Amino acid sequence: MDIVKISQTYVQKMINNTPGMKVLLLDDFTTLYISAIATQSNLLSKEVFLIDKIENTSRERMKHLKCICFLRPSAKSVQLMIDELRNPNYGSYYLYFSNILSKSQIERMAEADQQETVRELQEFYGDFCAVNSNFYSLNLQSYQIYGDSLNTWNNDTFKRTVEGLRAVLLALKKRPMIRYEKNSALGKRLASEINYQIQQESQLFDFRRYDTPPILLILDRKNDPVTPLLNQWTYQAMVHELIGINNGRVDLSRISDIKPDLKEIVLSADQDIFFKNNMYLNFGDLGVNIKNYVNEFQNRHHNSVNIESINDMKKFVEEYPEFKKLSGNVSKHVTLVSELSRLVSKDSLLEVSELEQNLACVNNSNDLKEVQNLIKRGNITDESKIKLVLLYTIRYGSQNRNEVNALKNLLIQNGISEDRTKIIDQFIRYVELDQRQNEETTAINTIFDKGKNVFKGLKGVENVYTQHTSKVADTIQSLLKGKLRDQLYPYIEGSIRDRPQDIIIFMIGGATYGEARDIAQLNEEIPNVRIILGGTSIHNTQSFLDFVKNAASV
Amino acid sequence: MSNTKTRPKRTFGIKVQENNSKFEEKFINTNNIIHNEVEYNKRNSTLSPNDNNNNNFISFEDSYQNSNFEFYECPICNEEILGLYQLNIHLDTVHTENKSGNVILSLFKKTQKITEEITGTTKTNEKPTQPVIDKSHWQKSTNDDKCSYPECEKPLGIRNGKQNCYCCGKLFCDMHTNFSMRLSESAKPDSNSPFWYKVCQSCYTSREGYNNTEGQRRNLTNAFIEARKNNIEKLCLEENLLILRLEKLAQLKAEINEKKGISINQKALEQSIVQWKEDASSIQCSICRRHHCRLCGKLICSNCIEDIPLFTDIENDKTYSGSTKSCNQCKRIVFRKKVMNAKEKIPSVVKLYEQIKFNQSIIETILPQYNDILLHINSKSSKNYPQDYQNATKYREKLIKNFHQIDLLSKRILKLPTNSKYYRTLQNNIAKGSVIYLQNNMITLKMLPEKNDVTIINEDIENTKRIKEIKDTLDVLNDQYTLLQGYYQDALFRRKFDNVKTLEESIQDVTDEIQKLKTELEEIS
Ligand SMILES: [Zn+2]
Ligand SMILES: [Zn+2]
Ligand SMILES: [Zn+2]
Ligand SMILES: [Zn+2]
Ligand SMILES: [Zn+2]
């Protein structure tokens, strides 16, 4: 169930079977899919010498090239394909669509192909971004999820989500039993539509029998709004939180005097061994590993220079241009980790994180005081301050609304605009704080689990900055122990008593790299189960708060 | 930042203490990455040297990977613990004084129950109807067994457990048999079987389809071609009709051309070929002028209508007799075959690339043979060393020749003049691809040991091949020379002296190459 490998296999199949000079035509969506998993050298070695967008209408006629198209079957892309076939620029066409085509779409393309240039038409269900081997995203960050209330889907987003998740299941070759969270109307609707789709496309979903059926677990972000608010301390998650990862790329151009080749770097576990080995490690281990990495690099030079500071490292790396290739990767990670480190100091993130973790994990009598203290402090960002108030609100807000309002005023007194503090009320609305207060406290309605010892055995140790574990990790462990109650996590159809062996999670409202890391760790430690996580998008705090703001606007 | 709250006294992640203390000191004042990490670690390691817990913890972590990965509830304190081994340690350290026969017994029962519950091994299936599964292939247990999982080799016994895999029958440790599968009576994987059995990790993960990386696909090519065929059959009728009309219009045009000066009612004649459709609803407006398509007769807006050439015989370009107006759609249909069958001039880059492919195909047949011999020679398993060496040398020279050829061709492609940014990118990328190809395939060339008595290659065969190669290359080069001259004259004419200079260089390169090849050709023949 390695979703990156599956996506790569789709691409290989597209380009391997057609020898000769090729152009690869993509649309806006598939460009993102492909760029996350394919390398230029791989494409070149398979004679893909041009890559272009189907949206680009000024392409030239190059009849001697074969054309591989990988497109979403969106109305727009299909129309562009039809236009292309009417006046073909290339000698022959091999069409691959990332999702199910309608009959009329096929007929319209066939009608347009009067020059008989199409050699192949296939559906390859790679309609998602394969981020890590067990983490995918539908890339819907710019979509409004909600319709006219927080209990309804936006129609377009719903259609798009169903198609995306259906493609994930087809790519994984899984016909799952579907479970959802009882308090999520969106989850229920998605679960029943996916179930309907599986029955509609029963031919496509006709896979070999499993010992026990896979589980598709549909979760709703609103039931764990805490995880995306916390500072992250593992490499990949930290980079996304503090700098931002956009489709595997990190923009470092804001660092002053950055070298041109480091302005945009690629973080790919597939192509970068150092990243692969360290992406899930915490900041402490990472620092030591990067020191070893530089040492190893240094030893290869039989050089006796002693590296004792980050400046030594930088100097060293720059002094050996003949080892550019290796040093390229070394200096990439040194630069990135230095920048993370700088941000951690500058914005007092260790202090912020400690308080965040306390707020997220235990009731403490002096929480209010500590939040107030940090709001008054200088070297802490406005974002951090707002985050702390939000975490305080989740923990204490249902009883102590007055204190929340006081904190809001304190934020304003400390220079944060009234407009920005509106997020507090928007957040209360999004997480349905008032409903949760009134209802009988059931496991699903408490955002904070009381007994956090579940994870103790797994992690073995407690860390001040990583005390909190994501709800999705807890939920999966309950599921594996057979303790996930049917009443709270109902099946859309049927039910099963066997312990699942394959689990696919889908998070409505977006997942996080921190959660991906938790899932990766579970996979590592429980080898008789495979778990894969995904969602409508990938959040850091910033994007999550934008999402909440957007949600509260319906 | 810290307060009086007590923290668990445990380390996190790396062990910074002792040998790393120097490292810690040095980095703390540099306010850099290391400082923060140390800070980060320090907060997590309020570790005192006489803390027993810590020692336990380290052994905890060390054993972690080798232990079971299921959760067990401690039968005494109910804390959830990962793995049986950790549970043992937990009992040893936390409940030492309570350890009595009774506790152990209850632990056993409880653990057994939980294990079954979690792995689903016996569960609900422990009915009298459970069939006898084939155990004839089971590995016999001795006093000195090791786990059969690759690279595990743990001694089997009370500590690590000992268990036959119900599928392959070999003996494994607990960790490597913590998997369950449905098996048939003959102990083969069978998803239809109602019975679950404990199996080893190898059997579990090597199940058919388990490591599958091929996602679902649907091939619609046949459906598409069928739909296209139906459509083109219909289209052909229309196509023939339109061609007929076009040729009639061309004929008409030709007649008009002959009868210069004599007034003819052209409109009426054209309408006799196709009825012009009147569009009553449309009132001619001053902005968009509309015209009748002379092929289908429909009234079409000026954006969608254009002039098309007329031929009295559509397949013969020489029968051109003028032009007329046609809508886009009719134009596409009437010239469909003409466009499809049009022979286009092959660009130089395509010709050169074909040569690269030719060289590559030679390399791909020789290289495996060369590598084979090389392996024999280097492993000293060669039976006829002189013969093998001679062959290897021969292959090696052939390979080098082809590699060199690819290098030259790709450089030439890189230098091909073009005004199109698409062709520029194409050429650059072909050159890049060739570099990658050379890098990937030239590695073993250096591995042939040196030898003094260089053997003579069968030159005759070599030479004839080489002559053909040179002649082909010369053709391409001459084409290119003419092309370059054209660009050169053009640049001179337009006084683009930058271009003139680069073009002069390119021409010189090509001339040199031509000269070199001609010399070689003379030498060989
Ligand atoms: Zn086995
Ligand atoms: Zn073992
Ligand atoms: Zn008009
Ligand atoms: Zn027409
Ligand atoms: Zn028009």
Q: Which of A357-366, B69-78, B290-299, B360-369 has the lowest mean pLDDT?
A: B69-78
SS3 A123: strand
Q: Which of A511-520, B22-31, B345-354 has the lowest mean pLDDT?
A: B22-31
Chain A positions touching B120 (Cβ under 8 A) are 498-499
Residue B118 pLDDT level (bands cut at 50, 70, 90)? very low
Q: Above 90 in pLDDT, residue B277?
A: no
Residue B83 pLDDT level (bands cut at 50, 70, 90)? low
How many whole angstroms separate alpha carbon B286 and alpha carbon B279?
16
Ligand nearest to the CA of B170: 1
| Phi, psi for residue A88 in degrees, rounded to 5 | -65, 135
Per-residue confidence (pLDDT) for residue A456, from 0 to 100:
35
How many whole angstroms separate alpha carbon A57 and alpha carbon A540?
36
Residues A157 and A90 in one domain: no
Per-residue confidence (pLDDT) for residue B64, from 0 to 100:
24
Q: Above 90 in pLDDT, residue B435?
A: no
| Token code pair at residue B475 | 């053709």
Residues A370 and A326 in one domain: no
Per-residue confidence (pLDDT) for residue A59, from 0 to 100:
94
Domain ranges within chain B, ordered by starting residue: 9-205, 221-341, 345-455, 456-525
Residues A46 and A122 in one domain: yes
Q: Which of A408-422, A441-455, A485-499, B399-413 has the lowest mean pLDDT?
A: A441-455
Burial class (CB in 10 A: 0-12, 13-18, 19+), B424: middle
Amino acid letter, residue B37? E
Per-residue confidence (pLDDT) for residue B449, from 0 to 100:
65
Strand blocks (E) in A125-194: 129-132, 135-137, 177-180
Residue of B204, B340, B350 lying closest to A115 (CB–CB): B340
Residues 391-430 on A with a CB inside 8 Å of B are none
Residue of B7, B33, B192 lying closest to A287 (CB–CB): B33
Centroid of ligand 2 to alpha carbon of A118 (angstroms): 54
Residue of B40, B120, B215 lying closest to A10 (CB–CB): B215
More confident: A67 or B283 = A67
Select from 3.40.50, 1.20.58, 3.30.70, 1.10.287 the CATH code of B345-455: 1.20.58
Q: Does residue A271 lie in a domain region? A: yes
Per-residue confidence (pLDDT) for residue A152, from 0 to 100:
96
Max avg pLDDT among A354-358, A384-388, B104-108, B341-345: A384-388
The pTM assigned to this predicted structure is 0.78
Question: Residue B15's closest chain A neighbor by CA?
Answer: A285
Give the residue from B9, B39, B217 with the most A CB atoms within 10 Å of its CB, the best one to mutate. Answer: B217
Average pLDDT, chain B: 75
Question: Residue A171's closest chain B neighbor by CA?
Answer: B215
Query: What is the per-residue pLDDT across B348-369, written as a single tens digit (0 to 9) for each?
Result: 999 999 999 999 999 999 988 8
Per-residue confidence (pLDDT) for residue B214, from 0 to 100:
94
Q: Does residue A455 lie in a domain region? A: no
Give ion ligand 1 contacts, CB < 5 A: B 165, 167-168, 200, 203
Domain count, chain A: 4
Task: Judge: B118–A285 Cβ closer than 8 Å, yes or no.
Answer: no
Per-residue confidence (pLDDT) for residue B13, from 0 to 100:
30
What percentage of residues in chain A have a pLDDT greater than 90?
66
Residue of A8, A285, A498 lying closest to B13 (CB–CB): A285
Task: Judge: B426–A465 Cβ closer than 8 Å, yes or no.
Answer: no
Query: What is the per-residue pLDDT across A332-358, written as a single tens digit (0 to 9) for each?
Result: 888 899 899 899 989 999 999 989 988
Query: What is the per-residue pLDDT across A165-184, written as a single tens digit (0 to 9) for each?
Result: 999 999 999 999 999 999 99
Chain A positions touching B124 (Cβ under 8 A) are 497
How many whole angstroms separate alpha carbon A343 and alpha carbon A242?
8
Query: What is the per-residue pLDDT across A538-554, written as a single tens digit (0 to 9) for each?
Result: 999 999 999 999 999 88
Q: Does residue A76 lie in a domain region? A: yes
SS3 B190: coil
Residue of B124, B215, B437 lying closest to A6 (CB–CB): B215
Mark residue A116 as left, alpha or beta (left: phi above 0; alpha: psi -120 to 50; beta: remaining).
Answer: left
Residue A197 pLDDT level (bands cut at 50, 70, 90)? very high
Q: Which of A289-298, A509-518, B132-141 has the lowest mean pLDDT?
A: A289-298
Average pLDDT over residues B58-80: 44
Ligand nearest to the CA of B153: 2
Instruction: Count A/B contacts: CB-CB distance under 8 Å.
Output: 259
How many whole angstroms separate alpha carbon B152 and alpha carbon B177?
12
How many whole angstroms separate alpha carbon B331 and alpha carbon B325?
9
A305 and B CB contact within 8 Å:
no
Which is nearest to A76 in space by CA: A105, A52, A45, A100? A105
Chain B positions touching A337 (Cβ under 8 A) are 33
Among candidate residues A72, A106, A126, the one where a domain is terminated: A126
A256: domain CATH number is 3.90.830.10
Q: Above 90 in pLDDT, residue B95?
A: no
Per-residue confidence (pLDDT) for residue B497, from 0 to 100:
80
Average pLDDT over residues A415-431: 93
| Phi, psi for residue B496 in degrees, rounded to 5 | -95, 90
A54-93: b or e for each residue (b if 16 or more CB lie within 10 Å)?
beeeebeebbbbbbbbbbbbbeebbebbbebbeebbbbbb
DSSP string for A267-295: --TTT-HHHHHHTTSBHHHHHHHHHHHHH
Q: Above 70 in pLDDT, residue A537?
A: yes
Among candidate residues A424, A441, A458, the one where a domain is terminated: A441
Per-residue confidence (pLDDT) for residue B160, from 0 to 100:
87
Q: At what angle do helices A283-299 and A324-346 cross, to 10 degrees?
A: 150
A483 and B CB contact within 8 Å:
no
Per-residue confidence (pLDDT) for residue A258, from 0 to 100:
85
Per-residue confidence (pLDDT) for residue A46, from 0 to 100:
93
A548 and B CB contact within 8 Å:
no
Per-residue confidence (pLDDT) for residue B130, from 0 to 100:
60
A481 and B CB contact within 8 Å:
yes
Residue B26 pLDDT level (bands cut at 50, 70, 90)? very low
A210 and B CB contact within 8 Å:
yes
Average pLDDT over residues A398-414: 90
Which is nearest to A11 in space by CA: B433, B440, B215, B432? B215
Chain A positions touching B117 (Cβ under 8 A) are 482
Residue A286 pLDDT level (bands cut at 50, 70, 90)? confident
Task: Judge: B32–A2 Cβ closer than 8 Å, yes or no.
Answer: no
Per-residue confidence (pLDDT) for residue A538, from 0 to 100:
97
More confident: B13 or A313 = A313
Contact criterion met (CB below 8 Å) for B145 and B155: yes
A496: domain CATH number is 3.40.50.1910
Contact criterion met (CB below 8 Å) for B457 and B394: yes
Residue B502 pLDDT level (bands cut at 50, 70, 90)? confident
Residue B179's H or E segment, with its range, is: strand B179-182
Q: Does residue A391 lie in a domain region? A: yes
Q: Which of A253-257, A287-291, B74-78, B146-150 has the lowest mean pLDDT?
A: B74-78
Residue B119 pLDDT level (bands cut at 50, 70, 90)? very low
Contact criterion met (CB below 8 Å) for B308 and B331: yes
Task: Judge: A282–B69 Cβ closer than 8 Å, yes or no.
Answer: no
Task: Judge: A461–B8 Cβ closer than 8 Å, yes or no.
Answer: yes
Average pLDDT over residues B101-119: 49
Q: Does residue A144 lie in a domain region? A: yes
Q: Above 60 in pLDDT, residue B16?
A: no
Q: Which of A63-72, A422-431, B288-297, B301-310 has the lowest mean pLDDT?
A: B288-297
Task: Judge: B33–A338 Cβ closer than 8 Å, yes or no.
Answer: yes
A76: domain CATH number is 3.40.50.2060
Q: Taking every pair of C-alpha atoms in chain B, what is the biggest distance, in angstroms? A: 126
Range of the domain at A421: 363-441
Average pLDDT, chain A: 88
Q: Above 60 in pLDDT, residue B10?
A: no
Among candidate residues A126, A152, A174, the one where a domain is terminated: A126
Centroid of ligand 1 to alpha carbon of A337 (angstroms): 44
Per-residue confidence (pLDDT) for residue B41, from 0 to 100:
54
Contact criterion met (CB below 8 Å) for B246 and B295: yes
Per-residue confidence (pLDDT) for residue A458, from 0 to 100:
34
How many whole angstroms separate alpha carbon B455 and alpha carbon B199?
60
Burial class (CB in 10 A: 0-12, 13-18, 19+), A254: exposed
Per-residue confidence (pLDDT) for residue A511, from 0 to 100:
97
What percentage of residues in chain B have a pLDDT greater than 90?
27
Task: Judge: B14–A121 Cβ closer than 8 Å, yes or no.
Answer: no
Query: What is the per-residue pLDDT across A92-143, written as a single tens digit (0 to 9) for each?
Result: 999 999 999 999 999 999 999 999 999 999 999 999 999 999 999 999 999 9
Q: Above 80 in pLDDT, residue B114?
A: no
Q: Does residue A353 lie in a domain region? A: no
Per-residue confidence (pLDDT) for residue B90, from 0 to 100:
61
